[in-house]
Amino acid sequence: MALASRLLSRSTRQLCAGQVVLRPKHAIPIRCFAKEGVAPTALKGDQVLKDIFYEVKNKLETLIGFLRKEKINIDPEDPVAVSEYAKVMNSVRQKANLLSESQIIKFNIEVETHEIPDARTYLLKLKEMRVKRGLINEQGIEDLQMAALDKVEKEIKKPLMRNDKKGIALLTAEFDKINQKFGIRKEDLPKYKEQLELKIAKAQLEELKKDAPEAMETQKKREEFKDEEMPSMKSLDIRNFI
């Protein structure tokens, strides 16, 4: 039960976080961060909390019901297991009306950068967020982006602000050159999103694999399980613990 609880707790945190976007009338929509945004309609606090509680409860029941039917192989080194895990979690998100990992990242970027006025601080914040999520910058693109920013700021002879349309156009042109160098195209965005989902799925499986021995040891200390042999990682079926 301990291992399944850890899997569910991660999904539950996503459920709660998702309410900010999925229930715009009960929270501040992303558009409200813009200058032209309109303040959301005020509702009584008790009713807001009650509505969110029931929505999270219903989504969690949907989540548990779906996970009872799907087998998850805790093997982050097996590409097939990683792919299957990503598909399962994607199906869970669709059935429970949750955000995808890429949508969560996009929303977090909007929230954490809306007050940043200049391009340099914005790029540094993106790097900080990437590092926190464990996403590896293997190609050194961020260094090239900062070099491009240095070039633009040298050309305009001042720090580049995000509301400087001409300056941002110059920076965007430099970024396009970087993307072209690495073969990154806008039409390939769906493929990049899929690759991101697989990277995150692998990281989550690695975390589960790390947690599993501790969870099994805790289970084994219980009187009814003390004489049972500890199963191998690949034989674990989380459906038996839900």
Residue 37 lies in a domain: no
Is 235 a domain residue? no
What is the pLDDT at residue 118? 96
- Kindly compute the dihedral angle of the four CA atoms of residues 189, 193, 196, 202, in this order, to the nearest 10 degrees: -140
Domain range for residue 167? Answer: 116-211
pLDDT surpassing 90 at residue 158:
yes
Residue range 194-198: average pLDDT?
85
pLDDT, average across residues 136-141: 76
Tokens standing for 41?
């309609």
Amino acid letter, 218: T
pLDDT tens string 204-230: 888 878 877 777 677 667 776 666 666
pLDDT at 73: 80
Instruction: Answer whether residue 15 is part of any domain.
Output: no
Residues 197 and 86: beta-carbon distance below 8 Å? yes
Task: Tell whether 125 and 185 lie within a shared domain.
Answer: yes
d(CA 116, CA 77): 39
Our count of domains for the chain comes to 2
Residues 127 and 169 in one domain: yes
| pLDDT of amino acid 17 | 46
pLDDT tens track for 18-31:
444 334 333 333 33
Question: pLDDT at position 28, please?
Answer: 35
On whether both 79 and 129 belong to a single domain, the answer is: no
The reported pTM is 0.56
Are 143 and 200 contained in the same domain? Answer: yes
DSSP helix/strand/coil, 179: helix
Distance CA 12, CA 37 (A): 30
Q: For residues 216 and 3, is the Cβ–Cβ distance under 8 A?
A: yes
Residues 125 and 78 in one domain: no
Q: What is the CA angle 21-145-29, rounded to 5?
A: 15
Residue 48 confidence (pLDDT): 76
Per-residue confidence (pLDDT) for residue 167, from 0 to 100: 96
End-to-end CA distance of the chain: 6
Residue at 83 is within a domain: yes
Q: With respect to residue 153, please indicate whether it lies within any of the assigned structural domains.
A: yes
- Report the percent of the chain where pLDDT is more than 90: 24
Q: Judge whether 147 lies within some domain.
A: yes
Residue 175 in this model has a pLDDT that exceeds 90: yes
Q: Considering the domain boundaries, does residue 146 fall inside one? A: yes
* Confidence band, pLDDT 50/70/90 cuts, at residue 122: very high
Residues 90, 176, single domain; the answer is no
Q: List pLDDT tens digits, range 55-76.
A: 777 777 777 777 777 777 888 8
pLDDT of residue 159: 96
The answer to whether residues 201 and 122 belong to one domain is yes
Confidence of residue 44 (pLDDT cuts 50, 70, 90): low
| Whether 88 and 122 share a structural domain | no
Grade residue 162 by pLDDT with cuts at 50, 70 and 90.
very high
Q: Looking at the structure, tell me whether residues 155 and 203 fall in a common domain.
A: yes
Does 160 fall in a domain?
yes
**Per-residue confidence at 240, pLDDT binned at 50, 70, 90?**
low
- More confident: 153 or 67: 153
Give, for 58, the enclosing helix (H) or strand (E): helix 45-67
Note the pLDDT of residue 22: 39
